[in-house]
Amino acid sequence: MPASDEDLKARIAAGDRLGPDDALSPGYRGEVVRLMTIFVDSELAWAAGYADHINRAPGMRERVVTARIVAEKLGHAEQVMALLEPFGVKPELYIRSHAWTARLDRNTNIGNRRIGEDKRLNVLHYPLEGWTDAVAMNALFGATTVVHLGELANGSYAPLADAMSEIVRREGEHAALGVNGLRQAVERQGTAAAQVAVDYWYPRVADTFGVVGSERYPLYKAYGLRQHTNAELLGMWEAAVAPWLAELNLAAPSGD
């Protein structure tokens, strides 16, 4: 029999970690499934878009690194998809259920609006445009992934938290590889193309943190699935990317 929300929140407030064998309330169950689905869909969509750029990389080493990132993101999706199986998800059907390579027109700006049938983060609806653009996106969005997944690694749903403790480390490596790729692009061709890419991706990546003052946050906090507000997470990301932007003589867009 499902637990009541009040009982579940009391357990979480007392420091309990939960798993699929616990009696989960419908509300908690729904939010856990939602978070895992967003992660899986985002990894699948990210891998699908980045895979097209393996052969656009400027050298053999860059192609090997890009292929590794794609493979590891698919592995992360597979790992969390396995956690969805107790909730009725069939992996062999799921991966065929959406067009992971689908993208919008480059000039579209959907902000925080939810579109499409899958639950990928909105930034992954935009197409990559060339190698410098791809590594800039990987560097900026990779840093957001570390922030977002750090929340899940400290969450109350034990199977997901345990998986994220390892995944967040590898995603941090992906972000660092993106920064290194962008650094090499700047060394080869100067800052102009890199700055154009940063100007494009920075606000779209920032949108992944959602609306400031989100009404969902108190519920996530009570469920032990979030520890920080959207504004706090955005600030953590801005602080993380500022040093390497400055190092590369790049600037965050003003937002005017």
- Kindly report, residue by residue over 98-124, the tens digit of the pLDDT: 899 999 999 999 988 888 888 999 999
Residue 158 CB: number of other CB atoms within 10 A?
14
Residue 138 CB: number of other CB atoms within 10 A?
26
Mean pLDDT of all residues belonging to the chain = 92
Please determine, for residue 256, whether its predicted confidence score (pLDDT) is greater than 60: no
162: closest CA among 252, 80, 221, 235? 80
pLDDT band for position 95 (cuts 50, 70, 90): confident
Please determine, for residue 255, whether its predicted confidence score (pLDDT) is greater than 70: no
Tokens representing 242 are 């500022």
pLDDT of residue 45: 95
Report all structural domains of the chain as residue ranges with CATH numbers, in order of start. Answer: 23-100+127-247 (1.20.1260.10)
- pTM for the whole thing? 0.93
8 Å CB contact between 18 and 11 = yes
8 Å CB contact between 44 and 77 = yes
pLDDT of residue 1: 58
8 Å CB contact between 93 and 41 = no
8 Å CB contact between 79 and 167 = yes
Rounded CA separation 245/182 (Å): 10
Dmax of the chain from CA atoms? 62
pLDDT of residue 135: 95
Residues with Cβ within 8 Å of residue 153, at least 6 apart in sequence: 161, 164, 165, 168
